[in-house]
Amino acid sequence: MKLEKIISISGKPGLYKLVSQLKNGFIIEDIITKKKVSIGNSSQVSLLDNIAMYTVDKEVPLFDVFENIAKDNGYTETIPHKSSEEELRTLMATALPNYDTERVYASDIKKLAQWYNLLHKAGYISEESFIKDIPVEGEQESDEVSLETKATEKKVTPKNDKATATKGAKTSSAAKSTAKATHRKMG
CATH of the domain at 91: 1.10.10.1650
Contact, 71 vs 49, CB < 8 A?
Answer: no
**pLDDT score recorded for residue 148:** 35
- Number of folded domains that form the chain: 2
**pLDDT score recorded for residue 89:** 95
11 and 57 assigned to the same domain: no
37 and 63 assigned to the same domain: no
59 and 38 assigned to the same domain: no
**pLDDT score recorded for residue 66:** 93
Asked which of 130, 162, 180 is the last residue of a domain, the reply is 130
40 and 59 assigned to the same domain: no
* Residue 155 is assigned to a structural domain of this protein: no
Place 185 in a pLDDT band, splitting at 50, 70 and 90.
very low
14 and 68 assigned to the same domain: no
Domain that holds residue 58: 51-130
* Residue 169 is assigned to a structural domain of this protein: no
Given a cut of 80, is residue 166 above it in pLDDT? no
Number of H helices, E strands in the chain: 5, 7
* Residue 62 is assigned to a structural domain of this protein: yes
27 and 91 assigned to the same domain: no
Cα distance between residue 174 and residue 176, in whole Å: 5
Q: Per-residue pLDDT averaged across 103-108, rounded?
A: 94
Q: Per-residue pLDDT averaged across 53-78, rounded?
A: 92
Q: Per-residue pLDDT averaged across 27-50, rounded?
A: 92
* Residue 146 is assigned to a structural domain of this protein: no
Place 107 in a pLDDT band, splitting at 50, 70 and 90.
very high
Residue 177: which region, alpha, beta or left (left: phi > 0; alpha: psi -120 to 50)? alpha
pLDDT cut 70: percent of the chain above it: 68
- Cite the DSSP H helix spans in the chain: 62-72, 85-95, 106-121, 139-156, 162-186
* Residue 27 is assigned to a structural domain of this protein: yes
Helix (H) or strand (E) holding 157: none
Q: Per-residue pLDDT averaged across 172-187, rounded?
A: 39
**pLDDT score recorded for residue 75:** 87
Asked which of 99, 130, 161 is the last residue of a domain, the reply is 130
105 and 60 assigned to the same domain: yes
* Residue 75 is assigned to a structural domain of this protein: yes
pTM (whole model) above 0.95: no
In this structure, what are the phi and psi dihedrals at residue 34, rounded to the nearest 5 degrees?
65, 15
* Residue 148 is assigned to a structural domain of this protein: no
64 and 41 assigned to the same domain: no
* Residue 71 is assigned to a structural domain of this protein: yes
Given a cut of 60, is residue 184 above it in pLDDT? no
CA of 74: how far to CAs of 13, 62, 108, 113, 125, in Å?
A: 26, 18, 23, 15, 10
Q: Per-residue pLDDT averaged across 100-109, rounded?
A: 94
43 and 57 assigned to the same domain: no
Place 152 in a pLDDT band, splitting at 50, 70 and 90.
very low
40 and 57 assigned to the same domain: no
